[in-house]
Amino acid sequence: MASITLDNVNLIFRLRREGRISLKELLLHRKFRKSRNPIQEVPALTNINLKIGKGERVGIIGHNGAGKSTLLRLIAGIYPPTSGERKVVGQISSLFDIALGFEPTATGWENIRVRGYLQGETPRSISSKMPEIAEFCELGKFLDMPVRFYSSGMLVRLAFSIATAIQPEVLLIDEVFGAGDIAFQQKAQSRMEELLNRAQLLVFVGHGVDAIAKMCSRVIWMHHGQVHMDGPSQRVVDAFKKHMLPPAGQPSNLAA
């Protein structure tokens, strides 16, 4: 049974103030024990406690830099927690990096296979799904071309078509409807409704709070790396709007 459990999870990024140290600095200051470019710790997620069960549709909202995508990537296993426990039951299928798994010099057909393998497909299973993927993405003869010639919208079409052709258990999506033309966005939304009937669990990150309120039954409001509010979708979205869009002449209560 698909589920996500985050128990007192913290994530700290360790960065250097400067990306590189010049050879001159290294030679001049090598005698100093203290580094000229010390590592800095940047808290990304703080004290996250979440339980998401089978059948839930969960949206994640918040201002830019609130930690929405970081949280999604931690759930996916891309970022291991610095402390705390992350437990995900079920096969994870994610759609939040359209470049992931794409080989620029390979054709669309070849990339369908490669990306399919990365999502856990077998040669036989992905072969059986290729005609349906091609039909949905509507790229036609472009599938015979290397994907380096594709526009960002074409890549989104192909990535979305591949990701939604599988039998998902834990489905993670980040802003998939933010690219592509309006017709494809509408088509993708319909596809998502079909996919939700097959997915056991969905976590969706986006800025379109009204669309999230309609799609999800539960919404998590992230603010500066922490869960600010978690509850029924419309209640959380209304509270978020109230704080982010205050009456005219008043500053936002949650300025980024």
Cα 239 from chain centroid (whole Å): 23
pLDDT for 166: 76
The pLDDT-based confidence of 254 (bands split at 50, 70, 90) is low
Pairwise CA distance, residues 110 & 247, whole Å: 53
pLDDT for 256: 44
Structure tokens belonging to residue 161:
């078509």
36, 216 contact by CB (below 8 A):
no
The overall pTM is greater than 0.85: no
Residue 89: pLDDT over 60: yes
Dihedrals φ, ψ of 146, to 5°? -60, 140
Quick: pLDDT tens for 102-119: 899 999 999 999 888 877
Quick: pLDDT tens for 141-164: 999 999 999 998 898 889 888 888
pLDDT for 72: 95
Using a pLDDT cut of 70, give the percent of the chain over it: 82
Q: Could you tell me which residues come within 8 angstroms of residue 81 by beta carbon, excluding any fewer than 6 positions away? A: 6, 9, 10, 11, 74
The pLDDT-based confidence of 185 (bands split at 50, 70, 90) is confident
Q: Which residue has the tokens 């539960």?
A: 218
Strand, coil or helix: what is 206?
Answer: coil
